[in-house]
Structure 1
Amino acid sequence: MKKLNITLDPPKILVLGFAMLILLGTFLLTLPIATEDGNGLSFINALFTATSATCVTGLVVVDTADTFSMFGELVIITLIQIGGLGFMSFATFFFFLLGKKISLKERLLLKESLNNLTIEGIVKFVRRILIFTAVIESVGGIILAIRFSFDMSIGKAVYYGFFHAISMFNNAGFDLMGGFRSLTPYVDDPTVVLTVCSLITLGGLGFIVMNELYEYRDTHRLSMHAKVVLFTTIILTCSATIFIFFLEYKNTLAPLSISGKGLGALFQAVTPRTAGANTLPIGDLTQSTLFLTIIFMFIGAGPGSTAGGIKITTFVVLIASVWSQIRGKEDVVLFKRRIVMETILKALTVTVSGLFLVIIMTMLLSITEKDFDFLMYLFEATSAFGTVGLSMGLTPELSPLGKLLIIFTMFAGRLGPLTIGFAIAMRRKPDAFRHPRGKIMIG
């Protein structure tokens, strides 16, 4: 009898791993102990919340603080932590504790899940990721806990501080402020705004970049990847802050002082990089600001980070390619380094795939959800794809079918570009022959 040999490549294992984690979270959130009323969450709402947490999105159909008990909130924050860092990183952590040796197959899985280029030093890299995460979340949690202690009891302030630190570093956007308010009560609070913005930005840089920054004191060099991520992050954050400051000056920023306006604009510039929290009411923003936010949500942050989107490196490669074509240059060059055609085509594939997903989901939402503006459908679909979590208010009003569409979009947005990239890399094989050249008119 022929033995059935079933092998799973890393992309399939990652997809199955995330799916199993979501299903486990869904089951836990349906338990009576998970909600304040003792009835548990309905399956569809539990599935939506578990998917949003695991995919570090932050879109919610029920308010986190008002609906869930502490058990439910701890389930959500655990899903966020595992989903943000990747379940393989957590599996490696337990291997460390048990003294188990990391096999070659497990190293390959780690390489793929962390979007790393090589398995060389991957175990050491994972160890550093866990240390970076613990240190950053602890520092952020302590600062926020001290600030919150002026508004609530010490115990509650510590709980709130660390919950929000973990949520924001993992770019999840879940909050405990209640009433779907997010962090709007702290719009002009420098401690909260600057701490949360720092957590979001660090989580969005990517662990590869953080590791290079840590080693910079010894190496005194940064890779082209790190330079692109850091430079683009600064440019996008600064330019968005300036645009939002002027676009919202007489709108949502009007009641604030000049410094408050600056803090409000800064937070709104940082959060679309897939964080999901907000200090300005999203539904009251001008259409210009909303459209700018949609663009930033689609771009996302750095590869190998806790953020989503097509990633800023993909965006930069495409812009550089267009600029090279306009200038009549044969090569695409960044920081005096030539970008190979394989990277350009991969960037194009990820971007077009993301665009198709957003367009299709926007169209489907416009069919399943009635009596809303088109911009709300586009905003919701882009937020789900970019695993951002910002909403103009459509999420709590979604129909069951609409919830399923957003669940799929969040899952695809978290794993889609990643697995597409893996599939391209794994399936690329030299052709046995090449067809004759063909000409087609462009433009």
Structure 2
Amino acid sequence: MKRPAVKAAPPVDRGLPPPLVLALLYFSSIFIGALLLWMPMSHTGAVGFGDAFFTSASAVTVTGLAVVDTGSDLTLIGQAILALLIQLGGLGLMAFAVLLLSALGLPVGLPQRLVLREDLNQRTLGGLAIIVRTIMLVALVCELAGAAILSFVFVPELGWSLGLWHAVFHSISAFNNAGFALYPDSLSGYADDPIINITIPALFILGGLGFIVVGDLVRARSWRRLSLHSKLMLTGTLSLILFGWAGFAALEWTNPATLGGMPDTASRLWASWFQAVTPRTAGFNTIDTGGMHDSTSLMTMSLMLVGGGSTSTAGGIKVTTLIVLLIGTVAFFRRQTALHVFGRSLGVEDVMKVMALTTISIFVVLVGIFLISVSHDDAFLDLAFEATSAFGTVGLSRGATGELDGFGRAVIIAIMFLGRVGPLTLGFFLATHSRPRVRYPKGDVYLG
């Protein structure tokens, strides 16, 4: 008896890879934001589509590099659109989408969870809903508290309506590590104001630590109960802040273009503190960044490349990446076969991942500097500073952004985009394991 032919199962349509979906989501948000900022209601007549697209890209990637004056070139509606783009980009586009679906009572399927995992830089699908709620709660509390405190500065100067708006805008910009300010000189007019120098850094440090760390601090309330990630983030952040504070003060204390031009020691210390923490991808400044010594600029570039924490509003290669690299280096010279820190061990795959992330990051920055310098021969340090600031999604500038041509701006936009989305995409592919089918004999390579 002849058996009936068995039909082959149709191929399963797996759809687009989650990293690609995430990249398209961010690009679509940038394009829509550019259209909104380009509309006549959003600006005073001095913003073309190219400027609007650059501004939208800088906001969605929470960078802060600007080619227009946010306070004068954008109307109140334009500033509100910019604040919304900053909020969406800083807290994560997929996090907002999942929150909206949950609020409407709609189920969150596996495809959405996969993209959300990439947006939050997580390894597993478990606990994503808890992380989203933590993100939104922490952001709401911090931004409301920041706006309330900042209103004591802006309301007496600008009145209730405008003062409250300035407080809200700068609170959103600070917590999301965006660096957009409503003044052409950023926050230089408040270089010695204690409220500004405490509140703004507190916001972007909390945002840069990462929502997991903040939630862990609230739950544990004890150093011993903190997770290894939280311990590494807190230790690394404190060390980098103290290093930057002492280094900036020592290098710029007598520079008349920066600290040397301030009236007293207290003002210099406040400014040193602010400039030590703002490279953690915050982007605000209280001194003339273009007036810094070359040595200070190089130190700032190093801090910008490191950035903040994973699952945060900050960019860069991340503090934990730097720490694992240092631990691996020390272990190599000590001939240790395992990495240990705070009573926990780290696997070889962790070291390989941070090496790959660091290599790709340095490659992107160097290629970006090369491409920009092709059409701009002068001020190499300024161009390098700009490219590093773009990749770290920092926003600090030595004044080169406004001088770039169309090609240079396109390169900066691409670097900002890769700085915000690239590490997440790379992390997805690094998390994909495969076993080799063929084993080859070991070979000798002479390194170093």
TM-score by length of 1: 0.95
Aligned-residue offset at 1:405: 0.6
Q: CA deviation at 1:442?
A: 1.2
SS in structure 2 at match of 1:73: helix
1:348 is matched with 355
Selected match of 2:445 from 428, 436, 440: 440
CA contact (8 A) 1:136 1:199 kept: yes
* 1:14 equivalenced with 2:22 (yes/no): yes
After the TM superposition, which residues 119-134 of structure 1 pair with which residues of structure 2 at under 5 Å, given as runs?
Answer: 119-134=125-140
Paired with 1:288 and 1:24, the residues of 2 have a C-alpha distance of: 40
Tell me how far 1:105 sits from its aligned partner: 3.1
Q: How far does the alpha carbon of each residue in 1:43-71 deviate from its partner, in whole angstroms, 9 at most, with x for none?
A: 22111111000000000111111211111
Who is 1:248 aligned against? 252
Tell me the alpha carbon deviations over residues 234-274 of structure 1, each in whole angstroms, 9 at most, x when there is no partner: 01001110111111111111223222111101110111010
Instruction: State which drifts further: 279-288 or 121-130.
Output: 121-130
Give the C-alpha shift of residue 373 in structure 1.
1.4
Residues 155-198 of structure 1: CA deviation (Å, up to 9, x unaligned)? 11100001000001000000101x3x000001111100110000
Contact 1:282 1:390 in 2 (8 A): yes
Confirm or deny that 1:336 pairs with 2:343: yes
The match for 1:262 is: 269
Per the alignment, residue 70 of structure 2 pairs with: 64
Distance 1:30 1:137, change over 3 A: same
Q: Does the CA-based 8 Å contact 1:309-1:387 persist in structure 2?
A: yes
Query: Structure 1: where are the runs of 5+ without partners?
Result: none
* C-alpha separation in 2, matches of 1:280 and 1:22: 30
Query: How many aligned positions are there?
Result: 436
1:231 matched residue in structure 2: 235
| Corresponding letter in the other structure for 2:118 | E
For 2:35 and 2:131, locate their aligned partners in 1 and report how far apart those are by CA, in whole Å: 33
Q: Which of the numbers 108, 116, 120 marks the counterpart of 1:110?
A: 116
**Which SS does the other structure have where 1:333 is aligned?**
strand
Matched residue SS, 1:338: strand
Structure 1: how far apart are the matches of 2:263 and 2:421? 39
2:40 equivalent among 32, 37, 40: 32
Contact preservation (8 Å) 2:121, 2:427: no
Q: Hey, which bits of structure 1, 4+ residues long, moved more than 6 A?
A: none
- Match in the other structure for 2:216: 212
Residue pair 2:151, 2:167 contacting (<8 A) in 1 also: yes
CA distance in 2, matches of 1:402, 1:442: 37
TM-superposed deviation, 1:333? 1.7
TM-score by length of 2: 0.94
Is 1:380 equivalent to 2:386 in the alignment? Answer: yes
1:150 Cα deviation after fit: 2.3
Amino acid at match of 1:434: R
2:396 aligned partner = 390
Letter in 1 for 2:380: F
User: Offset at 1:5?
Assistant: 3.5
* Correspondence 1:298 to 2:305: yes
Shift of 1:97: 2.2
Structure 1 residue 374 displacement after superposition: 1.1
Distance 1:351 1:220 in 2: 30
The match for 1:96 is 102
* Counterpart code for 1:436: P
8 Å Cα contact 2:18/2:111 also seen in 1 = no
Q: Which residue of 2 aligns with 1:414?
A: 420
SS of the residue aligned with 1:58? coil
Aligned alpha-carbon RMSD (Å)? 1.6
Secondary structure class of the residue paired with 1:151: helix
The 5-angstrom pairing of residues 361-372 of structure 1 reads: 361-370=368-377, 372=378
